[in-house]
Structure 1
Amino acid sequence: MTENPAGTDPIADTRRWLQRAVIGLNLCPFAKAVAVRDQVRFALSDAATPEALLQALAAELALLRDTDPDAVDTTLLIHPRVLGDFLDYNDFLDAADALVASMGLDGVLQVASFHPRYRFAGSGEDDIENFSNRSPHPMLHLLREDSVARAVAAYPDPDVIVERNQRTLRRLGRAGWRALLTWETGPERG
Protein backbone atom coordinates (compact mmCIF):
# COMPACT_ATOMS: atom_id res chain seq x y z
CA MET A 1 0.00 0.00 0.00
CA THR A 2 1.24 3.48 -0.82
CA GLU A 3 1.09 6.50 1.45
CA ASN A 4 0.03 8.63 -1.50
CA PRO A 5 -3.68 8.13 -2.14
CA ALA A 6 -3.32 8.68 -5.87
CA GLY A 7 -6.39 9.21 -8.00
CA THR A 8 -7.00 8.14 -11.54
CA ASP A 9 -5.24 10.99 -13.38
CA PRO A 10 -1.46 10.60 -13.00
CA ILE A 11 -0.69 14.10 -14.28
CA ALA A 12 -3.24 15.73 -11.96
CA ASP A 13 -1.92 13.62 -9.06
CA THR A 14 1.63 14.71 -9.85
CA ARG A 15 0.72 18.38 -10.16
CA ARG A 16 -1.03 18.22 -6.81
CA TRP A 17 1.96 16.47 -5.20
CA LEU A 18 4.32 19.07 -6.66
CA GLN A 19 2.22 21.95 -5.33
CA ARG A 20 1.30 20.53 -1.93
CA ALA A 21 4.37 18.51 -0.93
CA VAL A 22 7.39 19.58 -2.95
CA ILE A 23 6.58 23.29 -3.04
CA GLY A 24 4.13 23.50 -0.13
CA LEU A 25 6.56 21.89 2.32
CA ASN A 26 9.55 23.46 0.55
CA LEU A 27 11.12 20.02 0.12
CA CYS A 28 12.88 21.43 -2.93
CA PRO A 29 13.51 25.16 -2.60
CA PHE A 30 14.25 25.32 -6.35
CA ALA A 31 10.93 23.90 -7.55
CA LYS A 32 8.67 26.90 -7.00
CA ALA A 33 10.48 29.17 -9.46
CA VAL A 34 10.17 26.78 -12.43
CA ALA A 35 6.59 25.89 -11.49
CA VAL A 36 5.53 29.55 -11.29
CA ARG A 37 7.13 30.21 -14.69
CA ASP A 38 5.31 27.15 -16.09
CA GLN A 39 8.63 25.53 -17.10
CA VAL A 40 7.81 22.05 -15.81
CA ARG A 41 6.81 19.50 -18.43
CA PHE A 42 4.51 16.73 -17.20
CA ALA A 43 4.96 13.77 -19.55
CA LEU A 44 2.83 10.65 -19.12
CA SER A 45 4.28 7.42 -20.48
CA ASP A 46 2.08 4.45 -21.30
CA ALA A 47 5.14 2.17 -21.23
CA ALA A 48 4.39 -1.24 -19.77
CA THR A 49 7.95 -2.62 -19.93
CA PRO A 50 11.33 -1.25 -18.87
CA GLU A 51 12.44 -1.34 -22.52
CA ALA A 52 9.50 0.81 -23.60
CA LEU A 53 10.17 3.19 -20.72
CA LEU A 54 13.80 3.50 -21.81
CA GLN A 55 12.56 4.54 -25.27
CA ALA A 56 10.21 7.09 -23.73
CA LEU A 57 13.06 8.39 -21.58
CA ALA A 58 15.28 8.77 -24.66
CA ALA A 59 12.56 10.79 -26.40
CA GLU A 60 12.08 13.03 -23.35
CA LEU A 61 15.83 13.56 -22.91
CA ALA A 62 16.09 14.58 -26.58
CA LEU A 63 13.09 16.90 -26.24
CA LEU A 64 14.56 18.57 -23.15
CA ARG A 65 17.99 18.84 -24.79
CA ASP A 66 16.47 20.47 -27.89
CA THR A 67 14.01 22.81 -26.13
CA ASP A 68 14.79 26.32 -24.93
CA PRO A 69 15.13 26.25 -21.12
CA ASP A 70 12.83 29.28 -20.90
CA ALA A 71 10.07 27.10 -22.35
CA VAL A 72 10.84 23.81 -20.52
CA ASP A 73 13.44 23.73 -17.78
CA THR A 74 12.64 20.33 -16.30
CA THR A 75 10.51 17.27 -17.08
CA LEU A 76 8.63 14.85 -14.86
CA LEU A 77 8.26 11.60 -16.81
CA ILE A 78 5.43 9.77 -15.05
CA HIS A 79 5.19 6.04 -15.75
CA PRO A 80 2.40 4.41 -13.70
CA ARG A 81 2.27 1.15 -15.69
CA VAL A 82 5.88 0.02 -15.24
CA LEU A 83 8.38 -0.32 -12.39
CA GLY A 84 5.83 -0.22 -9.61
CA ASP A 85 8.19 -2.34 -7.52
CA PHE A 86 10.77 -0.01 -5.98
CA LEU A 87 13.69 -2.43 -6.26
CA ASP A 88 13.01 -2.93 -9.98
CA TYR A 89 12.71 0.85 -10.34
CA ASN A 90 15.96 1.39 -8.46
CA ASP A 91 17.74 -1.12 -10.73
CA PHE A 92 16.36 0.72 -13.79
CA LEU A 93 18.12 3.91 -12.72
CA ASP A 94 21.44 2.41 -13.88
CA ALA A 95 19.97 1.97 -17.36
CA ALA A 96 18.66 5.55 -17.24
CA ASP A 97 22.12 6.89 -16.35
CA ALA A 98 23.70 4.76 -19.08
CA LEU A 99 21.21 6.20 -21.57
CA VAL A 100 22.13 9.75 -20.57
CA ALA A 101 25.79 8.87 -21.15
CA SER A 102 25.14 7.12 -24.48
CA MET A 103 23.28 10.20 -25.73
CA GLY A 104 26.28 12.37 -24.87
CA LEU A 105 24.31 14.22 -22.20
CA ASP A 106 26.57 13.66 -19.17
CA GLY A 107 27.06 17.08 -17.62
CA VAL A 108 24.07 18.42 -19.57
CA LEU A 109 21.06 16.51 -18.19
CA GLN A 110 20.56 14.26 -15.20
CA VAL A 111 17.83 11.94 -13.97
CA ALA A 112 16.52 12.14 -10.41
CA SER A 113 14.21 9.55 -8.89
CA PHE A 114 10.78 9.62 -7.24
CA HIS A 115 8.59 6.63 -6.46
CA PRO A 116 5.58 5.84 -4.22
CA ARG A 117 7.74 3.34 -2.25
CA TYR A 118 11.01 5.30 -2.34
CA ARG A 119 13.50 4.13 0.23
CA PHE A 120 16.91 5.62 0.95
CA ALA A 121 19.77 3.17 1.41
CA GLY A 122 20.06 2.15 5.05
CA SER A 123 16.58 3.36 5.97
CA GLY A 124 13.60 1.37 7.15
CA GLU A 125 10.73 0.99 4.69
CA ASP A 126 8.41 3.05 6.88
CA ASP A 127 10.90 5.79 7.88
CA ILE A 128 9.21 9.15 7.36
CA GLU A 129 12.41 10.60 5.83
CA ASN A 130 11.80 8.46 2.72
CA PHE A 131 8.72 10.52 1.98
CA SER A 132 10.81 13.41 0.65
CA ASN A 133 11.19 11.30 -2.51
CA ARG A 134 7.80 9.59 -2.49
CA SER A 135 5.56 10.59 -5.35
CA PRO A 136 2.04 9.47 -6.26
CA HIS A 137 3.34 7.42 -9.21
CA PRO A 138 6.77 6.19 -10.31
CA MET A 139 8.54 8.96 -12.19
CA LEU A 140 11.85 10.08 -13.55
CA HIS A 141 12.77 13.73 -13.05
CA LEU A 142 14.89 15.12 -15.87
CA LEU A 143 16.95 18.13 -14.89
CA ARG A 144 19.30 20.48 -16.68
CA GLU A 145 22.74 20.47 -15.03
CA ASP A 146 23.17 24.23 -15.66
CA SER A 147 19.87 24.99 -13.92
CA VAL A 148 20.79 22.81 -10.96
CA ALA A 149 24.21 24.49 -10.66
CA ARG A 150 22.65 27.99 -10.78
CA ALA A 151 20.01 27.09 -8.19
CA VAL A 152 22.53 25.54 -5.80
CA ALA A 153 24.91 28.50 -6.19
CA ALA A 154 22.09 30.93 -5.36
CA TYR A 155 20.97 29.00 -2.29
CA PRO A 156 22.69 30.10 0.95
CA ASP A 157 23.49 26.61 2.25
CA PRO A 158 22.23 23.73 0.09
CA ASP A 159 23.68 21.12 2.46
CA VAL A 160 20.97 21.88 5.01
CA ILE A 161 18.10 20.98 2.66
CA VAL A 162 18.15 17.25 3.51
CA GLU A 163 18.31 17.88 7.26
CA ARG A 164 15.52 20.48 7.06
CA ASN A 165 13.36 18.07 5.03
CA GLN A 166 13.88 15.33 7.60
CA ARG A 167 12.81 17.67 10.42
CA THR A 168 9.79 18.85 8.41
CA LEU A 169 8.66 15.30 7.66
CA ARG A 170 9.17 14.12 11.24
CA ARG A 171 7.10 17.06 12.48
CA LEU A 172 4.39 16.37 9.86
CA GLY A 173 4.28 12.61 10.49
CA ARG A 174 2.46 9.99 8.44
CA ALA A 175 -1.00 11.29 9.31
CA GLY A 176 0.00 14.80 8.30
CA TRP A 177 1.48 13.51 5.02
CA ARG A 178 -1.76 11.67 4.23
CA ALA A 179 -3.84 14.74 5.07
CA LEU A 180 -1.61 16.96 2.94
CA LEU A 181 -2.03 14.70 -0.05
CA THR A 182 -5.72 13.95 0.25
CA TRP A 183 -6.53 14.23 -3.40
CA GLU A 184 -10.23 14.99 -3.17
CA THR A 185 -10.17 18.08 -0.98
CA GLY A 186 -8.97 21.62 -1.05
CA PRO A 187 -7.41 23.88 -3.63
CA GLU A 188 -3.85 23.39 -4.68
CA ARG A 189 -1.40 25.37 -2.64
CA GLY A 190 1.82 26.85 -3.80
Structure 2
Amino acid sequence: MNFDKDTIVADTRDWLVKAVIGLNLCPFAKSVHVKNQVRYSVSDATTPGELLTDLVHELTLLRDADPEEIDTTLLVHPAVLQDFFDFNDFLDIVDAAVEELDLGGLIQVASFHPDYQFADAKSDDIENYSNRSPYPTLHLIREASLDRAVEAFPDAADIYETNKATLRKMGLEGWKKLWQV
Protein backbone atom coordinates (compact mmCIF):
# COMPACT_ATOMS: atom_id res chain seq x y z
CA MET A 1 0.00 0.00 0.00
CA ASN A 2 1.26 3.46 -0.90
CA PHE A 3 1.68 5.71 2.15
CA ASP A 4 2.52 8.88 0.26
CA LYS A 5 0.56 11.57 2.13
CA ASP A 6 -0.34 13.51 -1.02
CA THR A 7 -1.75 10.34 -2.59
CA ILE A 8 -3.67 9.48 0.58
CA VAL A 9 -5.22 12.95 0.72
CA ALA A 10 -6.05 12.81 -3.01
CA ASP A 11 -7.65 9.36 -2.62
CA THR A 12 -9.64 10.54 0.39
CA ARG A 13 -10.77 13.74 -1.34
CA ASP A 14 -11.77 11.69 -4.41
CA TRP A 15 -13.86 9.40 -2.19
CA LEU A 16 -15.47 12.41 -0.51
CA VAL A 17 -16.36 13.99 -3.86
CA LYS A 18 -17.47 10.86 -5.75
CA ALA A 19 -19.16 8.85 -3.00
CA VAL A 20 -20.03 11.00 0.00
CA ILE A 21 -21.03 14.10 -1.98
CA GLY A 22 -21.65 12.57 -5.41
CA LEU A 23 -24.09 9.95 -4.09
CA ASN A 24 -25.39 12.38 -1.47
CA LEU A 25 -24.53 9.90 1.30
CA CYS A 26 -24.08 12.91 3.56
CA PRO A 27 -26.08 15.94 2.48
CA PHE A 28 -24.01 18.09 4.85
CA ALA A 29 -20.62 17.38 3.28
CA LYS A 30 -20.84 19.49 0.14
CA SER A 31 -21.00 22.87 1.85
CA VAL A 32 -17.86 22.38 3.97
CA HIS A 33 -16.04 20.87 0.99
CA VAL A 34 -16.76 23.77 -1.37
CA LYS A 35 -15.80 26.26 1.36
CA ASN A 36 -12.48 24.40 1.88
CA GLN A 37 -13.31 23.87 5.56
CA VAL A 38 -12.31 20.20 5.61
CA ARG A 39 -8.94 19.47 7.19
CA TYR A 40 -7.22 16.34 5.88
CA SER A 41 -4.73 15.01 8.40
CA VAL A 42 -2.73 11.89 7.57
CA SER A 43 -1.36 10.14 10.63
CA ASP A 44 2.04 8.46 10.62
CA ALA A 45 0.85 6.24 13.50
CA THR A 46 1.74 2.58 13.37
CA THR A 47 0.26 1.72 16.79
CA PRO A 48 -3.07 2.53 18.42
CA GLY A 49 -1.23 4.55 21.08
CA GLU A 50 0.39 6.75 18.45
CA LEU A 51 -2.98 7.18 16.75
CA LEU A 52 -4.53 8.22 20.06
CA THR A 53 -1.86 10.91 20.40
CA ASP A 54 -2.69 12.16 16.90
CA LEU A 55 -6.40 12.04 17.65
CA VAL A 56 -6.00 14.14 20.80
CA HIS A 57 -3.94 16.66 18.80
CA GLU A 58 -6.61 16.87 16.07
CA LEU A 59 -9.48 17.12 18.55
CA THR A 60 -7.71 19.98 20.32
CA LEU A 61 -6.85 21.68 17.04
CA LEU A 62 -10.46 21.47 15.85
CA ARG A 63 -11.76 22.70 19.19
CA ASP A 64 -9.49 25.76 19.04
CA ALA A 65 -9.81 26.50 15.31
CA ASP A 66 -12.08 29.11 13.80
CA PRO A 67 -15.01 27.14 12.31
CA GLU A 68 -14.81 29.33 9.20
CA GLU A 69 -11.29 27.97 8.66
CA ILE A 70 -11.68 24.35 9.82
CA ASP A 71 -15.18 23.02 10.31
CA THR A 72 -14.41 19.32 10.22
CA THR A 73 -11.37 17.02 10.15
CA LEU A 74 -10.71 13.72 8.43
CA LEU A 75 -7.96 11.94 10.37
CA VAL A 76 -6.73 9.26 7.97
CA HIS A 77 -4.51 6.55 9.43
CA PRO A 78 -3.34 4.14 6.74
CA ALA A 79 -0.72 2.26 8.77
CA VAL A 80 -2.72 1.29 11.84
CA LEU A 81 -6.02 -0.49 12.56
CA GLN A 82 -6.27 -2.07 9.13
CA ASP A 83 -8.37 -4.87 10.64
CA PHE A 84 -11.94 -3.56 10.88
CA PHE A 85 -12.69 -5.30 14.17
CA ASP A 86 -9.56 -3.81 15.80
CA PHE A 87 -10.62 -0.43 14.38
CA ASN A 88 -14.12 -0.89 15.75
CA ASP A 89 -12.75 -1.76 19.20
CA PHE A 90 -10.60 1.39 19.09
CA LEU A 91 -13.75 3.52 18.82
CA ASP A 92 -14.32 3.04 22.56
CA ILE A 93 -10.93 4.70 23.12
CA VAL A 94 -11.95 7.48 20.73
CA ASP A 95 -15.14 8.12 22.72
CA ALA A 96 -13.16 8.13 25.97
CA ALA A 97 -10.71 10.69 24.53
CA VAL A 98 -13.58 12.98 23.51
CA GLU A 99 -14.96 12.80 27.05
CA GLU A 100 -11.52 13.20 28.69
CA LEU A 101 -11.03 16.44 26.75
CA ASP A 102 -14.52 17.62 27.81
CA LEU A 103 -15.59 17.72 24.16
CA GLY A 104 -18.77 15.68 24.57
CA GLY A 105 -21.56 17.73 23.02
CA LEU A 106 -18.98 19.81 21.11
CA ILE A 107 -17.28 17.29 18.83
CA GLN A 108 -18.31 13.82 17.78
CA VAL A 109 -16.36 11.26 15.80
CA ALA A 110 -17.74 9.20 12.92
CA SER A 111 -15.89 6.18 11.60
CA PHE A 112 -15.02 5.02 8.09
CA HIS A 113 -12.97 2.01 7.04
CA PRO A 114 -12.25 0.05 3.83
CA ASP A 115 -13.92 -3.01 5.41
CA TYR A 116 -16.66 -1.21 7.34
CA GLN A 117 -19.51 -3.46 8.42
CA PHE A 118 -22.66 -2.45 10.23
CA ALA A 119 -23.52 -4.67 13.18
CA ASP A 120 -26.67 -5.99 11.55
CA ALA A 121 -25.11 -6.57 8.12
CA LYS A 122 -23.15 -9.29 6.37
CA SER A 123 -19.65 -8.30 5.29
CA ASP A 124 -20.60 -8.21 1.60
CA ASP A 125 -23.83 -6.19 2.02
CA ILE A 126 -23.80 -3.14 -0.25
CA GLU A 127 -25.12 -0.95 2.58
CA ASN A 128 -21.73 -1.16 4.28
CA TYR A 129 -20.28 0.91 1.45
CA SER A 130 -21.87 4.06 2.85
CA ASN A 131 -19.09 3.96 5.46
CA ARG A 132 -16.32 2.42 3.38
CA SER A 133 -13.42 4.74 2.73
CA PRO A 134 -10.09 4.17 0.98
CA TYR A 135 -8.22 4.12 4.33
CA PRO A 136 -9.25 3.84 7.98
CA THR A 137 -10.54 7.31 8.84
CA LEU A 138 -11.89 9.12 11.87
CA HIS A 139 -14.17 12.03 11.01
CA LEU A 140 -14.15 14.74 13.67
CA ILE A 141 -17.35 16.77 13.45
CA ARG A 142 -18.43 19.88 15.29
CA GLU A 143 -21.80 19.28 16.97
CA ALA A 144 -22.85 22.89 16.23
CA SER A 145 -22.31 22.26 12.52
CA LEU A 146 -24.40 19.11 12.70
CA ASP A 147 -27.16 20.99 14.49
CA ARG A 148 -27.23 23.66 11.77
CA ALA A 149 -27.19 21.04 9.04
CA VAL A 150 -30.03 19.06 10.60
CA GLU A 151 -32.08 22.26 10.87
CA ALA A 152 -31.53 22.88 7.16
CA PHE A 153 -32.24 19.25 6.27
CA PRO A 154 -35.45 18.26 8.02
CA ASP A 155 -35.29 14.63 6.87
CA ALA A 156 -31.92 13.97 8.52
CA ALA A 157 -33.31 10.95 10.35
CA ASP A 158 -33.95 9.32 6.97
CA ILE A 159 -30.35 9.60 5.71
CA TYR A 160 -29.35 6.04 6.66
CA GLU A 161 -32.41 4.50 4.98
CA THR A 162 -31.97 6.73 1.91
CA ASN A 163 -28.31 5.67 1.68
CA LYS A 164 -29.25 2.01 1.86
CA ALA A 165 -31.78 2.48 -0.95
CA THR A 166 -29.26 4.41 -3.08
CA LEU A 167 -26.59 1.76 -2.65
CA ARG A 168 -28.98 -1.13 -3.26
CA LYS A 169 -30.15 0.53 -6.48
CA MET A 170 -26.60 1.03 -7.79
CA GLY A 171 -25.32 -2.33 -6.55
CA LEU A 172 -21.73 -3.47 -6.32
CA GLU A 173 -21.19 -3.09 -10.08
CA GLY A 174 -22.38 0.52 -9.92
CA TRP A 175 -20.07 1.16 -6.97
CA LYS A 176 -17.12 -0.27 -8.89
CA LYS A 177 -17.95 1.90 -11.95
CA LEU A 178 -17.80 4.96 -9.70
CA TRP A 179 -14.05 4.38 -9.31
CA GLN A 180 -13.20 3.67 -12.93
CA VAL A 181 -11.11 6.42 -14.47
TM-score by length of 2: 0.96
Note if contact 1:115-1:133 (Cα within 8 Å) is conserved in structure 2: yes
Q: Does 1:177 align with 2:172?
A: no
Q: Does 1:153 align with 2:156?
A: no
Of the three residues 107, 112, 137, the one matched with 1:114 is 112
Q: How far does the alpha carbon of each residue in 1:158-182 deviate from its partner, in whole angstroms, 9 at most, with x for none?
A: 1211111111101111111111123
Note if contact 1:107-1:145 (Cα within 8 Å) is conserved in structure 2: yes
**Which consecutive unaligned segments of at least 5 residues does structure 2 have?**
none
Q: Does 1:11 align with 2:9?
A: yes
Task: Report the Cα offset of residue 18 of structure 1.
Answer: 0.2
Give 1:1-190 correspondences, 5 Å limit: 9-182=7-180, 185=181
Query: After alignment, is 146-155 or 123-132 more displaced?
Result: 146-155
Note if contact 1:64-1:74 (Cα within 8 Å) is conserved in structure 2: yes
Note if contact 1:84-1:138 (Cα within 8 Å) is conserved in structure 2: yes
Question: What is the root-mean-square deviation of aligned Cα atoms in Å?
Answer: 1.4
Task: Report the Cα offset of residue 87 of structure 1.
Answer: 0.2
- The change in CA–CA distance for 1:19 and 1:6 in structure 2 (over 3 A counts) is farther
Q: Paired residues, what number?
A: 179
TM-score by length of 1: 0.91
Question: Take 1:50 and 1:109, find their aligned partners in 2: how far apart are those partners?
Answer: 20
Task: Report the Cα offset of residue 153 of structure 1.
Answer: 1.5
Question: Take 1:22 and 1:7, find their aligned partners in 2: how far apart are those partners?
Answer: 22
Question: Take 1:54 and 1:87, find their aligned partners in 2: how far apart are those partners?
Answer: 17
Q: Secondary structure at the match of 1:47?
A: coil
Q: How far does the alpha carbon of each residue in 1:47-87 deviate from its partner, in whole angstroms, 9 at most, with x for none?
A: 00000000000000010001000000000000000000000
Question: Take 1:13 and 1:7, find their aligned partners in 2: how far apart are those partners?
Answer: 11
Q: Which has the higher contact order (CA 8 A, sep 6+)?
A: 1
Moved over 2 A (4+): 5-8
Looking at secondary structure, tell me which structure has more helix per residue: 2
Note if contact 1:47-1:79 (Cα within 8 Å) is conserved in structure 2: yes
Residue type matched to 2:113 in 1?
H
Note if contact 2:3-2:78 (Cα within 8 Å) is conserved in structure 1: no
Question: Take 2:81 and 2:72, find their aligned partners in 1: how far apart are those partners?
Answer: 21
**Which consecutive unaligned segments of at least 5 residues does structure 1 have?**
186-190
Q: Secondary structure at the match of 1:117?
A: coil
- The change in CA–CA distance for 1:177 and 1:139 in structure 2 (over 3 A counts) is same
Question: Take 2:44 and 2:3, find their aligned partners in 1: how far apart are those partners?
Answer: 16
